[in-house]
Structure 1
């Protein structure tokens, strides 16, 4: 009988029972053979009424696999022994990772930001890159919130290799169905497990962390987990998770390195690649995951602006003096603002739009002063198209970039600034790519 303060092997003092189910127990213990004593984890398998030989096979496989692993984010193997009492126990000793499991954090109603989810995803994928490239290959088969620890160092650790499959087992004639419903992909329950199976489980775990709902309790459509309306994530990150959790293996990322590369590139999953800036364009564009900044500089002195200067001399100065003697002349003075606007703003005006994951800000400036500004919610943008302004040149309406956010439209690039067709197409493609539309 396992009890607190029991000493095993003249070495391990049982301190606290952490879990118990189906003939298994997990204990927090101290290894007193080392000074100062070190905290360890002891996992026990009972040779009692509920014992099945397959359980022992998996238990021994976990010990054998852990002996071979050497990764800073995986608990180290310490010892393996048996305990003789009325039940007889097999014991596996592992390194203790201080911290809390992601399941415990969910139970505390903690919600995770997109940046936190990306960090978790990246760290788990780095572990999987290591496991999946071992020879023989190691597939965890049970990635879920309870098997991911957030350590005291704020790093993510992968624990519990009780369902692990190595390459030798994968080639066997029979399979034991392991994994947790809601996290394990369909092929795993059919006896086929591949590296992409762990990727599915990671995606389902991220869905649980983002929604606070167990994936099995979420609705499905064509076997795909429907979570999009319950989260506040960027479109490209949602599509990345969707690709992880594709029911068809062929539609998923094929490997952890591929999934990690797509995550780190911060691009839409289905992006066609780098988008070329039109030759000769003076537009400045700076794109990272968190921000997209577009700046359209002033056009500068042109033939039109020279005309404007002459116009100012021969119109505004005389009419300004005339107003002093006849106030009604102000009507003609105001009338002169139309060509002022038509030439001065494009020549000396400056436009910028700055996106972050929460909102975007559009600014129109003249000689350094903001004369117009619009703000909107980034996540509300659902389409970007070529629109048309009310202005006409040669009887043709000027085209612009039109961002649709529900019932609201945010337009630019039709008049001030005026964009070339190639620049307009390029900016639409860049913004769509960043948003993942």
Structure 2
């Protein structure tokens, strides 16, 4: 039906088909006006197509038209062809700029494994794109971040493409939902029709896991819905923890914004003060980390004041004897009660001092968080 060399709408000459399914085709073409390569995405309105698919296609064009970011393809045109040879149905055609490069999925298919530094670079570049998308009003959610939608350009920069699953929050509120995204990269809330900014972060985290392990995240072991990958890689434990925080199954436990994710990565993978509470000045709480647990010691309060009350009580009890000494100064060294009282006072002070230490030990609260717990306490990360 469509062939290389064919001209559509007297403006675009088809060069090469780069994608196809039952209702869609994607072609690399030449714009006859600009002589630049462009990408044509075509959708046919045949009886087999779901109306939601058509809505997504239109939404992609509408969203792209309003985006302006150097790492996102530029919207160029949108038109309909009713008389395409060999077709009884109209075709909707979206034209966007062509990104000259190779997808990260193609590199994975070629056997490439990405280093720690490469993964960090890719993460920061995509997060910067998400900062832009999520800061729009309303926020734009990509909903399908995965290696095949990340293009490594000739300029060594990473581009985010294919906004076919895109959604803005204004459309999402109160609307019926279509499950969009790709299995293995989609968080649980997205399957339920709830998509948030943190949903894109999960997809990014799952993508990074794929890049650094070489294995599709759906094929990796899972425990309590968490992707288990740490024992498959030899990278900084901080980066492992950071990626794990991006891919928390519960959206409330996940890093919530692209800005926070960048800050956490730049600060040696420690979540920023916007996410964690740091140890208050003067706090007596002690933190002790080992290889597999974090120990928190919370001492009892009021120890010093309690010892002070002990001493004051004995001073008051001995006050009559002290007064008697002052009145009868000539009998000071021979006064037997003073000797007995002094000995009793000294022994009592020593006894109470050690008793106070015992009380301190008995009332100190110690918490041990084992290796299955992942969290931050006063900025301390359990590893």
2:129 partner SS: helix
Residue 9 of structure 1 corresponds to which residue in structure 2? 9
1:46 aligned residue? 44
Shift of the alpha carbon at 1:269?
Answer: 4.5
Structure of larger gyration radius: 2
Describe the shift of the 1:184–1:383 C-alpha distance in structure 2 as closer, same or farther (beyond 3 A): closer
SS in 2 for 1:62: helix
Q: Kindly tell me the number of residue pairs found equivalent between the two proteins.
A: 284
Q: For the residues of structure 2 that align with 1:218 and 1:12, how far apart are their CA atoms?
A: 43
User: C-alpha displacement at 1:22, in angstroms?
Assistant: 2.8
TM-fit CA distance, 1:172: 2.8
1:45-84 correspondence to structure 2 within 5 Å:
45-84=43-82
What is the correspondence of 1:201-212 to structure 2 with a 5 Å cutoff?
201-212=203-214
Q: Quote how far apart the aligned CAs of 1:382 are.
A: 4.7
Distance in 1 separating the partners of 2:22 and 2:255? 35
Structure 1 position 268, deviation (Å) = 3.6
Kindly report which structure 2 residues correspond to 1:198-237, keeping only aligned pairs within 5 A, or say none. Answer: 198-237=200-239
What is the CA-CA distance between 1:178 and the residue it aligns to?
Answer: 0.7
- 1:42, distance to aligned residue in structure 2 (A): 0.4
Compute the displacement of 1:20 (Å): 0.6
- Relative contact order higher in (CA < 8 Å, ≥ 6 apart): 2
Moved over 3 A (4+): 267-275, 381-385, 433-437
CA–CA separation in structure 2 for the residues paired with 1:248 and 1:274: 23
Contact 2:28 2:37 in 1 (8 A): yes
**CA–CA distance in structure 2, aligned partners of residues 165 and 236 of structure 1:** 32
- CA distance, structure 2, for counterparts of residue 239 and residue 151 of structure 1: 29
User: Residue deviations 1:307-330, cap 9 Å, x none?
Assistant: xxxxxxxxxxxxxxxxxxxxxxxx
Distance 1:384 1:213 in 2: 29
Aligned residue number for residue 32 of structure 2: 32
Q: CA deviation at 1:183?
A: 0.2
Counterpart for residue 95 of structure 2: 93
Corresponding residue of 2:111: 109
Whether the 8 Å CA contact 2:242–2:269 is kept in 1: the answer is: no
Q: Is the 8 A contact 1:75 1:95 kept in 2?
A: yes
| TM-score of the two chains, using structure 1 as the length reference | 0.62
Native 8 Å contact 2:15 2:29 kept in 1: yes
Q: Deviation at 1:162?
A: 0.6
Contact 2:245 2:253 (C-alpha < 8 Å) held by counterparts: yes
Q: 1:145 aligns with which of 144, 147, 168?
A: 147
Per-residue Cα deviation, 1:152-195 (whole angstroms, up to 9, x for no partner): 11101000001001122111331111111110100000010000
Q: Which runs of 5+ in 2 are unaligned?
A: 280-289, 295-378
- SS of the residue corresponding to residue 105 of structure 1 reads helix
Instruction: Provide structure 1 residue ranges, at least 5 long, that are not aligned to the other structure.
Output: 276-380, 386-432
CA distance in 1, matches of 2:293, 2:174: 52
What is the TM-score with the length of structure 2 in the denominator?
0.70
Q: Take 1:101 and 1:435, find their aligned partners in 2: how far apart are those partners?
A: 34
CA contact (8 A) 2:179 2:190 kept: yes
